[in-house]
Amino acid sequence: QITLKESGPTLVKPTQTLTLTCTFSGFSLTTSGVGVGWIRQPPGKALEWLALIYWDDDKRYSPSLKSRLTITKDTSKNQVVLTLTNMDPVDTATYYCAHRVKQKLSNHNWLDPWGQGTLVTVSS
Amino acid sequence: DIQMTQSPSSLSASVGDRVTIACRAGQSIGNYLNWYQQRPGKAPQLLIFAASSLQTGVPSRFSGSGSGTDFTLTISSLQPEDFASYYCQQSYSNPTFGQGTKLEIK
């Protein structure tokens, strides 16, 4: 069974850096095709993809947030860490991590399962 | 980024109704399209991948179709637990999501 869980601060001040950790079990980030992604959702709004890290350490970022985002992995701890710099109240959202699956013999891929999410509020 | 546009943004329907949600991609994405269901206060769950393949455990009343730029999610007979929000997501390139469709009880 694959599980993921996000952890980190629930409240950050404007201009601070947010650091979130995704701790997972049931899969390895050394397996070909596997990745972990981060997605956020402001209250009452749509999902927004942020970043992905793959088994081979390839990293992809949302173009609109690329300058503020960093994603890293620690395969020995089964963790993926996301940092978002210069936080602003508009970054208030529930942040999710998710297991990225790639279908064998094709390039089809999807996010499944997701963690429960963690609400981060940006306020002074 | 490939823009994804869903319609409608909200929909009222009754138990037993057949409903269809549309998703349009800003460029051709083949069948690289996934659908997720999100119940209130919960994380999204995968319903359909590769435009029409049902995820294990998802009821057969859910179906997906389409290719290129136009896709649909159909629920053949709404059940009480289906009232939720639905999101499409393209997996052709770096992921992008539609703005969501909220399905409400009439």
- The contacts of residue B42 (CB under 8 Å, 6+ apart) are none
Q: What is the pLDDT of residue A12?
A: 98
Number of H helices, E strands in chain A: 0, 11
pLDDT digits (tens, 9 = 90+) for A14-63: 999 999 999 999 999 999 999 999 999 999 999 999 999 999 999 999 99
Tell how strand A48-54 and strand B4-7 pair up.
unpaired
Give me chain B's average pLDDT, please: 97
Nearest CA in chain B to A112: B46
Q: How many CB atoms lie within 10 A of CB B10?
A: 10
Query: Is residue B69 less than 8 Å (CB to CB) from chain A?
Result: no
What is the pLDDT, as a whole number, of residue A104?
Answer: 84
Best B21, B33, B94 member to test A by mutation, with max A CBs in 10 Å, is B94
The residue-averaged pLDDT of B22-32 equals 98
Using CB atoms, pick whichever of B43, B49, B89 lies closest to residue A96. B43
Instruction: Give me the pLDDT at residue A105, please.
Output: 84
Output the pLDDT for position A34.
Answer: 95
Of the candidates B80, B97, B88, B72, the residue with the CA atom closest to the CA atom of residue B21: B72
- At residue B78, the pLDDT reads 96
